[in-house]
Structure 1
Amino acid sequence: MGKFLIRFSFLLILVAILFAGYTWLTLQWSYSEGDRAGYIQKLSKKGWICKTWEGEMALVTMPGTMTEKFYFSIRDESIADKLNESIGKRVVLEYEEHIGVPFSCFAETSYFVTGVKTVQEVPPL
């Protein structure tokens, strides 16, 4: 019985280490990177235990056209503060896409904003 408990404990520790390594890898390695421009419609801090900033941006190509929504997450508090200051203005979000993050505790989406730039309004046609 003692050998069984030792082997079982070793197996549990090994599984925990592998899972932690996988989680670290998904948060560090990005599948894609890019920029999206639009207007922030919603930004809120959500979560029961792990609070994350979650947002929604309207991607407007031309006035009067149908808008597409871009859902994103923010892990850095300073970026969230910068984005809060830019609400109502046209912004460009720099993001990284992380696929396979195991828990929503890290974010609700796979798109993590890494930078924010305020841009000039698009002149009317």
Structure 2
Amino acid sequence: MEKFKKILRWTIGIIIVGGLAVFLFLNYASYSKGYRVGTPIKLSKKGMVIKTWEGEMNIGGLTSSSEGVMPTTWEFSIHGSDREVRENLNDAIDQGQRVKLHYKEKYVRFFWQGDTKYFVYEVEPVSK
């Protein structure tokens, strides 16, 4: 019986440590990293209990659909602690300025982080 309890404790410990390792990997690891260029058109704080910052950028071009021709947009999220990114985006929206948004794409979207898997971490003005 004592041997069974020891094996059970080890099994539970391994499951907990393994689950924690998987969670930390999915939370912090990035699937891809890149940038997109366009004109930001929206930045909002969304959510009822957990507030997240969400944005939208017109990346140019048009697509045709059953509803006609529509502009191409890209949705992204911003970590709540990235105040400088939000301020730079607000300035770009106010001035109608084109920017290059550097982002990291996550493997999984957790509800407390944002609505998308794309997290912007740097805003760079683009000269025309």
Structure 2 segments unaligned to the other structure (5+ residues): 1-7, 63-68
The 1:16/1:44 distance shift into structure 2, 3 A limit, reads farther
Kindly indicate whether the alpha-carbon contact (under 8 Å) linking 2:61 and 2:72 is maintained by their aligned counterparts in 1: no
Q: Which residue number corresponds to residue 73 of structure 1? A: 77
Higher Cα Rg, which structure: 2
- Sequence identity percentage: 37
Q: Which runs of 5+ in 1 are unaligned?
A: 1-6
Alignment map for 1:1-125 (pairs within 5 Å): 11=12, 18-61=18-61, 67-75=71-79, 76-87=82-93, 88-101=96-109, 103-121=110-128
Deviation at 1:24, TM superposition (A): 2.4
Q: Which residue of 2 aligns with 1:4?
A: none
Amino acid at match of 2:103: Y
- How far the C-alpha of 1:61 sits from its partner, in A, is 4.5
Pairwise CA RMSD: 2.6
Q: Which has the higher strand share?
A: 2
What is the CA-CA distance between 1:20 and the residue it aligns to?
4.3
TM-score (norm 2): 0.72
Query: Shift of the alpha carbon at 1:96?
Result: 0.6
Q: What is the aligned length? A: 112
